[in-house]
């Protein structure tokens, strides 16, 4: 097998840990984006319902 960067990432322990870390960070960013969007939409809906009552 050749000594390419892709081979090093996929076969070495530190490479696998690096891929795991990158994947975890991406997953956490997606989760936080969805979480914030849900709370923003809930806040907007709450404000709209208060304005409708006035």
Range of the domain at 49: 24-53
Residue 30 lies in a domain: yes
pTM of structure = 0.77
- Tell whether the model's pLDDT for residue 21 goes beyond 60: yes
Q: Where are the alpha helices (DSSP H) in the chain?
A: 5-11, 13-53
* Number of structural domains found in the chain: 1
The residue-averaged pLDDT of 5-15 equals 91
Q: Is 16 left (phi over 0), alpha (psi -120 to 50) or beta?
A: alpha
Burial of 15 (0-12, 13-18, 19+ CB in 10 A): middle
- Alpha carbon 14 to its chain's center: 22
Residue 39 lies in a domain: yes
pLDDT tens for 24-41 read: 999 999 999 999 999 999
């Amino acid at each position: 097998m050749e000594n390419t960067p892709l081979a090093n990432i996929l076969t070495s322990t530190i490479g696998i840990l690096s891929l795991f870390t990158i994947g975890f960070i991406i997953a956490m960013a997606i989760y936080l984006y969805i979480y914030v969007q849900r709370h923003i939409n809930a806040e907007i809906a709450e404000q709209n319902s208060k304005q409708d009552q006035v």
